[in-house]
């Protein structure tokens, strides 16, 4: 019995170790993208098989994208990253030199095959009449979104609100700041992540508006049909890019240069863009855009870099300890 047990263990270990013949790609991604890539990966595997005759296996790792970047810096050998925040890819260059600084220029549209923006999830019938960012700061409106300190998703919410205010007040920062203070005072609960915020809004019935990515909002509406939530996309909004990159150091080591690049280029193909649009991400492919126009309300998008200089500056002035966010939260409590 003992030897058979040992044999089984050895067999199992062999099963676990990487097979030498078949090529593997590891895609390190953000935490809510599993279903998306579960749908895209088989398409690429078939495409690659047809093109090169090679059978590919694609493994997925999902987590908060800052945490994923940390793991790659510590030695997780991901071939490609598909993140929801470009600063997390920059970190891979700055701290580990795993890829060149100009990674954005290697693929079209700032290396962002798809993008999204923020949307509001409101309760049945939109009882608080929410239609724009401005409405969110009205008295008596309860807001739910994660803490911008810990969640990339919420950083976009904060910047979306702030950017909208800057545009409304003709770039008068003092006025915008004041408005954001009343906006933040309406927050009912700051969860640490997007999932927690959804639970607060859906299960604990807290607040009137849940703010998250447009793609997520549509997913939640589909997930809880009986609650009859409604979606509101404000007329001006922040552009949230979903940047992708191959990790040069790792693909050289893994010998997957061709496959990794082809995989990311495939995300721009019409087949992949259709899947993306079905998951409520906004895409660039003209035909897919035309075919799916009805599901994406028109909104005027601004880039974070255009209104707030750079992401680095945003990080240090707004989100660092004692930064604008902390100040506004403290002032709002008084």
Partner 1 sequence: MSQTALNSSRRWIRPLLINLGVVLTLLLLVVPLVFIFVAAFSAGVGGLWQNLTEPDMLHAIGLTLLVAGLTVPINLIFGTLIAWCVTRFSFPGRRLLLTLIDIPFAVSPVVAGLLYLLLYGSNGPFANILDQHDIQLMFAWPGLVMVTVFVSCPFVVRELVPLMSTLGTEQEEAAVLLGASGWQVFWHITLPNIRWALLYGVILTNARAVGEFGAVSVVSGTIRGQTNTLPLHIELLQQDYNTAGAFIAAALLTLIAIATLVVKAVLQWKLARQH
Per DSSP bridges, beta strands 114-116 and 282-283 are antiparallel
**Judged by CB under 8 A, does residue 195 bind partner 1?**
yes
Q: Is residue 35 a contact point for partner 1 (CB under 8 A)?
A: yes
CB 209 within 8 A of CB 141: yes
The SS3 call for residue 123 is: coil
Q: Which is nearer to partner 1, 154 or 180 (CB)?
A: 154
| Distant-in-sequence, close-in-space partners of 119: CB < 8 Å, separation ≥ 6 | 211, 212, 213, 214, 217, 218, 231, 232, 233
75 touches partner 1 by CB under 8 A: yes
Q: Is 109 in the site for partner 1 (CB under 8 A)?
A: no
Say whether residue 61 binds partner 1 (CB under 8 A). Answer: yes
Q: How far is the CB of 219 from partner 1 (least distance, A)?
A: 8
Do 303 and 310 contact (CB within 8 A), yes or no? no
Shortest Cβ distance from residue 247 to partner 1 (Å)?
12
Answer for which of 45, 60, 323, 326 binds partner 1 (CB under 8 A) is 60
Site string for partner 1, 147-186 (x = CB under 8 A): ----------------------------------------
Among 96, 95, 187, 92, which Cα is nearest to 149's?
A: 187
Instruction: Report the alpha-carbon distance of residue 4 to residue 10 in Å, rounded.
Output: 10
Cα gap 163→183, rounded to integer Å: 13
For position 286 contacting partner 1 by CB under 8 A, the verdict is no
Interface stretch with partner 1, choices 12-20, 101-109, 135-143, 269-277 (CB under 8 A) = 12-20
| Segment interacting with partner 1 (CB under 8 A) among 11-19, 183-191, 228-236, 282-290 | 11-19
Q: Which of 74, 102, 205, 321 binds partner 1 (CB under 8 A)?
A: 74
Rounded Cα gap, residues 150 and 138, in angstroms: 26
Instruction: Tell me: does residue 1 bind partner 1 (CB under 8 A).
Output: no
32 lies in the site for partner 1, by CB under 8 A: yes
- Alpha carbon distances (Å) from 328 to 37, 83, 145: 38, 29, 16
The nearest distance, CB 322 to partner 1, in angstroms, is 26
Q: Which stretch binds partner 1 (CB under 8 A): 74-82, 105-113, 151-159, 258-266?
A: 74-82
How many CB atoms sit inside 10 A of residue 207's CB? 22
């Amino acid at each position: 019995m003992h030897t058979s047990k040992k044999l089984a263990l050895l067999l199992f270990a062999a099963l676990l170790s990487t097979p030498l013949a078949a090529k593997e790609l590891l895609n390190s991604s953000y935490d809510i993208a599993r279903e998306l890539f579960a749908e895209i990966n088989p398409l690429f595997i078939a495409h690659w098989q047809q093109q090169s005759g090679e059978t590919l296996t694609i493994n997925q790792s999902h987590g908060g994208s800052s945490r994923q970047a940390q793991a790659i810096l510590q030695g997780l050998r991901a071939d490609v990253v598909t993140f929801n925040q470009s600063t997390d890819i920059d970190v891979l260059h700055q701290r580990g030199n795993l890829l060149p600084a100009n990674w954005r220029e290697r693929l079209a549209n700032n290396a962002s095959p798809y993008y999204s923006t923020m949307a509001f999830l409101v309760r049945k019938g939109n009882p608080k009449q929410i239609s724009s960012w401005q409405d969110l700061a009205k008295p008596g409106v309860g807001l739910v979104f994660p803490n911008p300190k810990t969640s990339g998703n919420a950083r976009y919410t904060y910047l979306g609100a702030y950017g909208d205010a800057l545009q409304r007040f003709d770039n008068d920062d003092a006025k915008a700041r004041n408005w954001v203070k009343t906006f933040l005072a309406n927050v009912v609960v700051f969860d640490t992540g997007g999932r927690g915020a959804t639970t607060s809004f859906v299960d604990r019935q807290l607040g009137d508006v849940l703010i998250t990515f447009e793609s997520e909002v549509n997913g939640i509406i589909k997930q809880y049909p009986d609650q009859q939530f409604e979606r509101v996309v404000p007329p001006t909004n922040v552009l949230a890019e979903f940047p992708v990159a191959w990790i040069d150091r790792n693909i050289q080591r893994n010998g997957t240069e061709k496959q990794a690049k082809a995989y990311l280029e495939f995300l721009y193909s019409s087949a992949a863009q259709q899947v993306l649009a079905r998951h409520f991400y906004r895409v660039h492919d003209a035909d897919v855009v035309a075919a799916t126009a009805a599901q994406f309300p028109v909104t005027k998008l601004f880039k974070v870099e255009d209104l707030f200089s750079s992401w680095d500056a945003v990080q240090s002035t707004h989100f660092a300890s004692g930064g604008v966010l902390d100040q506004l939260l403290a002032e709002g409590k008084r």
